[in-house]
Structure 1
Amino acid sequence: MSLRRRLFFPLAWLRRQIRASEFALIVLAVVIGAASGLCTVVLGALARTLQHWMFALPRGQRLSAVASLGWAPLAMLPVGGAVLSIFSWGVRSKRRRMVDAVEANALHGGRMSVPDSLVVSGQTVISNGFGASVGLEAAYAQMGGVIASVTGAALQLRRSDLRNLVGAGAGASIAAAFGAPLTGAFYAFEIVIGAYTPSAIAPIAAAAIAAVFVSQLFGAQPYIIDSLSGLPAESHHYLLYAGLGGVCALFGIALMRLVALVEQGSRMAPVPDWARPMLGGALLMPIAFWSPQVLSAGHGALHMDIAVGASLGFVALVFLAKASASIVSLGFGYRGGLFFASLFLGTLVGHLFAGVLEIIAGYPVVDPHNAAMVGMAALAVAVVGGPMTMAMLVLEATQDFALTGAVLAAALVSSTIVRETFGYSFSTWRLHLRGETIKSARDIGWIRALTVDKMMRRETRATDCEISIGEFRQRFPLGSASRVVLVNAAHHYAGIVQTPAAYADGLDPAVGVGSIAINADAALAVDMDIVTVMKRFDASGADELAVLDSDRHVVGILSESYVRRRYAEELEKAQNDLFGER
C-alpha cells in the first residue's frame, strides 16, 4: 500500500467519525483548543521577551507600567518600524491579501492560509515587541483560527463544521490570553462565527476550557482585576451606566475613523511605504517620553491606573496620549489590534465619567472603579463588538455579579449605537475600507460562490436579429421554443424574442425580428453573484435574461424562477447549518 493511501485511510475514518458523532467533534475541538492555547503562550512570550531586550525591563515588569523611559530606549520604536519593514519585505508575496478569521468565516467558509497567518503573527509580535501601541489579539486569533482551519480542511469537514472550528480556535486563543473561558467562548460566537449556533456550544466551550488549562499549565496568569469598589452597583445606576455606554460608543466610532484617516494620510505623504512604520515610531517617541503607559497593549497601565487614584486632568491626558499612540501605530503601518488598547482606554473614560458626575452633583454618584470596569467593556464593545463577550470578561476578571449587570446594560447601549450609526467593528471597518461589504462574520460566502456561471443554461443557438418575422416563424414554429436569443452581425447580444410574440396579429412578416426583441439592454455577467442577479431581475422585470461574456457574446441564459429557487435552497441549507442539523 502506498504512503498516500496509508495516510488517507486514517483521515477518512476520522472524517466519518466527526460527521457521525458530536462527541468526536468535541474531542477534535479540545485538541484544537489546546494547540491554540499553546500558541498564545508562545506568541505572548516572544513579544514580552522582545520588550525586555529592547527596553531593558526588570524581570516581571510590564512595559506600559514603567514609570519613565529615556530617549535612548525609546529609539527602539523607529528601529522596530525598520525591523517590521524588513520582515514584511522578506515575506512579501504575490498571493491574495491576507485573510483573518472573521473574513475567512464570512466569505471563505472558514478556509485560512498558514503562510499568511504566520506573516500576520510575525508582524504583530514585532510591532508589540518593539513597543508600538497595539495588542496581540490579532496574532492570537489568527493562529488559533488557522490551526482549526487547516485541521478541518485536512479532514474535509462540512462548511458549517469548519466555520465552527475556526471560531473555536480563535475563541480558545482569546480565552487563553485572558484566562477566561466564557470570554473566549462568546468571542467565538459573537465575533468570529457571527451567531449563537446550538451545534457549536459544546465544541467551543470545550476548546476554550482546554486552551485556558494549557496556558495556565505553562505559567500564564488569568486576567484578574481587583475593582476595589467602594459603592455597590445599584439598580438606579443602570441608567447612568447606559449613558456611559453611549459616550463610549461615540469615542469608539471616533477612534476607528481617526485610524482610517491617519492611515490614508500617511499613505498620501511623500514617503515610501517601507518608511511609514519608522516615521510612526518617531512620532510615538515624544508621546511615550511623556507617559510610557501608551506603549504596547496597556495591560500594566490598566492595572496601575485602577489601583492608584489620579486627577481627572491627568486621566484625560493619558486618554488622549494612549488614543493618539494607538492611532499613530495603526495608521503608520504597525500590525495589531485595538482590543487590548480599547480596554485600557475604556477604564480611563469610566474614570472621567465618574469624576464629571461628582463635579456636577457635588458628591460621588457612582463608584469610579465600577465606572472604570463598565467603561472598559463598553468601549471595547464599540471597537471590537460582542456585548456578551465583554460582560463575561468583566465577570471573570472581577467576580462581581452585580457589576456585570451594569456592564451588560452599558455594553448593549454601546453596541446598538455603533451598529445603528456606524455599522462596523474595527476588523470589519478595515475590510470595508478595502472594498468588502461584510459587517459581521455571518456566512455570506455561499452567496458569492453561487454565481451566474454555476446557475445558467448554456446557450448554443443564437439567431441573427436581421432575419424577417416571416423567416423566424418558419424556423421556430409555435411550441418548438419558448424564447430565442438574438445576436447582430458582430455576434453581439441583441435581445430576446418570446416565440408567441412573433405570431401576434398585425405584425408585418417582412419586418426584421429584432424589432420585437425585448431586454436588449438588460443582461447578466458570468461572475455576478446570486443577490446581484435577483436585483437585476427586479430592475428589468424580465422572466429570463441572457448571460454575456466581456465581449457581449452570448454564453447562456438564466430564468428568474430558477434563481429564486436556488436562493431558497441555499438559504434553507445555511439555516439548517446554523441550527445544528447534522
Structure 2
Amino acid sequence: MRPTSTAVPAGFFATRRRWLELRWRLLQRALTHSAFRDDELAFLGIAAVAGVLAALCVVVMRIIVTAIHVTAFQIPAGQPLSMGGVREWPLVLIVPVAGGLAVGAVTWAIRRKRPHEIVDAIEANALYGGRMSVRDSLNLALLSMLSSGVGASVGLEAAYTQIGSGLSSQLAEFLKLRRDDRRTLVGCGAAAAIAAAFNAPLAGAFFAFELILGSYTLAQLAPVTIAALAGTFVTRWVFGDDPVFTVSHGVHIHGWDYAVFLGLGLLSALVGIVVMRGATATEGWLRQHVPPAWLRPGIGAIPVGLLALVWPQVLGSGRGGIELDLHTALPLPFLIGLVLAKIAASAISIGAGFRGGLFSSALFIGSLMGGAIAMLIDRLVPAAVLDPLAYSLVGMGTVAAAIVGAPTAMILLVLEATGDFAATVGAMVGVVAASIAVRHWFGYSFATWRFHTRGLKIRSPEDVAWFDEIKVGRLMRSDPKTVPVDITIAALRRAYPLGSTKQVFAIEDGKLAGMIDLSEAYGPDLEGDPAVLTARGLVHDAPFLLPTDGLRQALAAFGESRLETLPVVNDRNARQTVGYLTEAYALRRYAQELERRRGESDGGSSLFGGTPSTP
C-alpha cells in the first residue's frame, strides 16, 4: 500500500486566510449595520463586552504589579506593599530610585514617538466626542504599572480607567457608533474599571456618571450599570469577593459625631488642596532645577524613599495600609507622622513624573486622618464615647471626594464596603462638606486641576466641543450696513431712516472703525448742523468676530461687550466687514442645538423641528 501523505496542500493557508478575512468583513458589516447600532438591547450587549474587557485589563495589571512588588521588595506573596512588610530596609530606598530612573527612561522613549499629551476619558468626552487612542492608553498603563510597581505613592486607578475607556472607545469606533453612544461607552469602560478595582459596582457606575459622563440620564443608566456589574463579576470570579477594605464590627455614631464629621470634611478639603497644589509645586521646582525630564522621577523618588525608611506604609497605593489602619491600633505620634508622610509622598510622586492615580492614596490618607482625629478627641475629652472605625470610614470618603471629585461614588463606596447605613450617613455629611469646600476654595478636582495646569479650560466632561463646531461664518448675516466714518449726519439719516435698523458699522480706509447707534444720530440733543457734522463723534469701539470663531467664543464676546450685535470681519489685520451676528440669533441657535443633542441622548426627538432658519 502507498503511504498516506500528510503534506498540506499548496495554497491551503492562503485560502484559509482569505476565508477568515471574508468572514471578518461580513461580521464587521453586520455589527456596523444601522439596525444593529440603533438597537437598545444590542447596545447593552456592547456595554457588557466593554465591561468585561476593562475588568480583564484590571486583573492582568493587578497581577503584574503584585508580582513586581514581591520580586523587587522581597515581601511575602499576598501581602500588599503598603502594609510595610519590606524585610530588607535598603530596598526601600534603592528600588524607588532605580525604578524612578526606569520610569523616566521609558517616558522619554515614549515621548520621542508620541510627543503629545495623552488624552484621558474626561478630556476625550469633553473635547473629542469620546475618541481615545488605544496606543496612548497602553503607554499610560505601562508607565502606571512601572510607577506603582517600584513603590511610588500612586495607585493604578488612572491606568484602569484609561485602558478601560480606551478599549471602549476603540470598540465604539469599530462599530461606528454615534457620538453620544461613543461617549456613553467610554463611561462604561471607566465604570467597569473602577467597579472591578474596588469590587463596588455602584461606586463604579456613579464614578462614571460624575467624572466621565458629567450627567445622569435614563439612556445612560442601563449600559453603565451593566458594564459595572460585568466588571465586578469578572474580578470576583478571578479574585473572589475581595473588597477594598473590611470592617470588623458595626459602626456606632452619636448625634454630636455629625458635627465632628462636618469639621472633618472641611479639614479633608484643605488636605486635598494641599496634595493638588503640592504636586504642581513639585513639578514646577523639578522643571526649574532638573532640566532633563527623564531624571526627575529618580530625583523625586529620593525623598519618597527617605520617608519610607521611617514610614514604609507610604510605598504603593495604600490599599493594604487601609486594612492595617482599620485593624491595628497604631500609636498616635506614628499615625500623625504617617498622615503627613503619605501626603508628601503622594504629592512628590505625582509632581516628579510618576504616572498613576490618587484614588487609593486618598482613601488611605483619609483613613489615617480620621483615626488620628478620633484618638485626639479621646485624649482631649476622655468622657466622649466615639468609634474610631466610624471616623476612619468618614475620613476615607471625605479626602477621596476632595481629591478625586466624585462625592456620590465615595458615599456609595463606603456603603458597599461596609453595608452599614449609619457609616454611610456619616460619610455623606463629611463628603458633602468636603466637596462644597473644595469647590468654593479651589474650584478643581485633581483631574480638572491637571487640565488647568496644561491650559485646558475643562471643568467637567460635559461635551463642549460642539460649541466650536458651529462657526460664526455659518450664523452671520452677510449684508452688513456700512458707512464711511466721515459721512455727515444728514447723509446718514437719508441712507438709514429712523426705524430701518438699530446700528451701522463705520468704515475707515477699508477697515472696521467701530459701530454707530442710529438712535444717537436722531437724538434731539445733537449739537451742530447735521449737514456739516460728521458721524465720527458717534462711533463707538466694538469687539469683532471672525468667521472661524466658534459659537462659544461668540457668546462670550456678547457677554463681555453687553452689545446686541457684533460685526464679523475677514481678518484681524485687514478688518474688512463681511457680516454681523446678533446675540438673539446666537442664543437661539445654541438652544436649538442643545435641545437636538439632548433629544438624541435621550433617544427622543428635538422640540425644534426642521432646519435652523437664517438670521
Q: TM-score of the superposition, structure 2-length normalised?
A: 0.85
Partner of 2:593: 570
Counterpart AA for 1:56: Q
Q: Which residue, 65, 81, 87 being the options, matches 1:63?
A: 81
Q: Does residue 75 of the first structure (1) align with residue 94 of the second (2)?
A: yes
Query: Quick one: structure 1 residues 388 and 313, their matched pair in 2 at CA, closer, same or farther if it must change by over 3 Å?
Result: same
CA offset at residue 467 of structure 1?
Answer: 7.3
Alignment of 1:98-109 (within 5 A): 98-109=118-129
Give the drift of 1:256: 1.7
Contact 1:346 1:375 in 2 (8 A): yes
Alignment of 1:544-563 (within 5 A): 544-548=565-569, 549-554=571-576, 555-563=578-586
Amino acid at match of 1:545: L
Selected match of 1:345 from 339, 348, 365: 365
Equivalences for 1:61-210 in 2 at 5 Å?
61-68=79-86, 69-72=88-91, 74-92=93-111, 93=113, 96-210=116-230
Equivalence for 1:412? 432
Is it true that 1:40 corresponds to 2:40 in the alignment?
Answer: no
Q: Is the 8 A contact 1:167 1:188 kept in 2?
A: yes
For 1:206, what is the secondary structure of its paired residue? helix
**Displacement, 1:5?**
7.8
The structure 2 residue matched to 1:523, chosen from 527, 534, 544, is 544
Are positions 1:325 and 2:345 aligned together? yes
- 1:257-311 deviation digits (Å, cap 9, x = unpaired): 2222222222222442221111011222211122221011011121122111111
Assess, with a 3 A threshold, how the Cα gap between structure 1 residues 246 and 8 changes in structure 2: closer, same or farther.
same
Q: How many residues align?
A: 578
Does the aligned pair in 2 maintain the 1:175–1:184 contact within 8 Å? Answer: yes
CA distance, structure 2, for counterparts of residue 345 and residue 434 of structure 1: 27
Per-residue Cα deviation, 1:356-405 (whole angstroms, up to 9, x for no partner):
11112214532111211111111111111222211221222222233222
Contact 1:519 1:540 in 2 (8 A): no
- 8 Å Cα contact 2:152/2:349 also seen in 1: yes
The one of 245, 249, 255 aligned to 2:269: 249
> Which one of the candidate residues 22, 46, 59 is aligned to 2:40?
22
Identify the match of residue 312 of structure 1 among 315, 318, 332.
332
Counterpart CA distance in 1 for 2:302 and 2:322 is 24
CA distance in 2, matches of 1:22, 1:356: 55
Q: Distance in 2 between matches of 1:367 and 1:483?
A: 71
Matched AA of 1:566:
R
Q: Which moved more, 1:209-218 or 1:28-37?
A: 209-218
Q: Note closer, same or farther for the CA distance 1:380–1:539 as it changes in structure 2 (3 Å cut).
A: closer
* 2:151 partner amino acid: G
Instruction: Provide closer, same or farther for how the CA distance between residues 579 and 417 of structure 1 changes in structure 2, counting only shifts above 3 A.
Output: farther
The 3-state SS of whatever aligns with 2:239 is coil
Distance 1:368 1:503, change over 3 A: closer
Task: Work out the percentage of aligned pairs sharing the same amino acid.
Answer: 37
Answer with 1 or 2: which has the greater Rg: 2
2:456 is paired with a residue whose SS is coil
CA drift of 1:525 comes to 3.6
Structure 1 position 199, deviation (Å)? 1.5
Instruction: Note the C-alpha offset of 1:406.
Output: 1.5
Per-residue CA deviation, residues 10-40 of structure 1 (Å, 9 max, x unaligned), is 2431x43332x32222111111111111111
- Give 1:455's aligned amino acid: L
Alignment partner of 1:75: what SS?
A: helix
- State the match for 1:217 in structure 2: 237
Task: Identify which range, 477-486 or 290-299, moves more after superposition.
Answer: 477-486
- Within 1, Cα distance between the matches of 2:519 and 2:347? 65
AA at the equivalent of 2:95: M
> How far apart, CA to CA, are the structure 1 residues paired with 2:92 and 2:335?
25
Query: 1:220 Cα shift?
Result: 6.1
- Indicate the larger mover: 518-527 or 190-199: 518-527
Alpha-carbon displacement from aligned partner over 1:220-254 (angstroms, at most 9, x marks no partner)? 65225332247623455333323322222222222
Q: After TM superposition, give the deviation of residue 123 of structure 1 in Å.
A: 1.6
List gaps (5 residues or longer) in structure 1: none
- CA pair 343-100 structure 1, distance change in 2 beyond 3 A: same
Q: Which amino acid aligns with 2:49?
A: V
1:227 and 1:370 in contact (8 A); partners too = no
Contact 1:64 1:299 in 2 (8 A): yes
Secondary structure of the structure 2 residue equivalent to 1:91: helix
- Once the two structures are overlaid, the 10-residue window that deviates more, 503-512 or 298-307, is 503-512
Amino acid at match of 1:493: L
Q: Is the CA contact (8 Å cut-off) linking 1:91 and 1:119 kept in structure 2?
A: yes
Separation of aligned partners in 2, 1:184 and 1:558:
45
Report if the CA contact (8 A) 2:366-2:400 is conserved. Answer: yes
Structure 1's 231 and 210: CA in aligned 2 closer, same or farther, altered over 3 A?
closer
Q: Is the 8 A contact 1:132 1:281 kept in 2?
A: yes
Give the drift of 1:42: 1.6
- Residue 354 of structure 2 aligns to a residue in which SS? coil
Mapped contact 1:224–1:396 kept (Cα < 8 A):
no
What is the match of residue 610 of structure 2?
A: none
State the SS of the aligned residue for 1:494. Answer: strand
Q: Which amino acid aligns with 1:523?
A: F
8 Å contact 2:30–2:36 — kept in the other structure?
Answer: no
Counterpart AA for 2:554 = V
Deviation at 1:135, TM superposition (A): 0.7
How far did residue 163 of structure 1 move? Answer: 2.0
Q: Which has the larger displacement, 569-578 or 201-210? A: 569-578
Rounded to whole Å, the distance in 1 between the matches of 2:493 and 2:246 is 87
Letter in 2 for 1:494: A
In 2, Cα distance between equivalents of 1:439 and 1:247: 23
1:397 aligns with 2:420: no
Distance in 1 of aligned mates of 2:264 and 2:480: 65
Report SS of the residue matched to 2:567: strand
Q: Contact 1:104 / 1:110 at 8 angstroms: preserved in 2? A: yes
Is the Cα contact below 8 Å between 1:487 and 1:494 reproduced in 2? Answer: yes
1:521/1:407 CA distance change after superposition, 3 Å: closer
> Is 2:199–2:243's contact at 8 Å kept on the other side of the alignment?
yes
Name stretches of at least 5 consecutive residues in structure 2 with no aligned partner: 1-17, 606-615
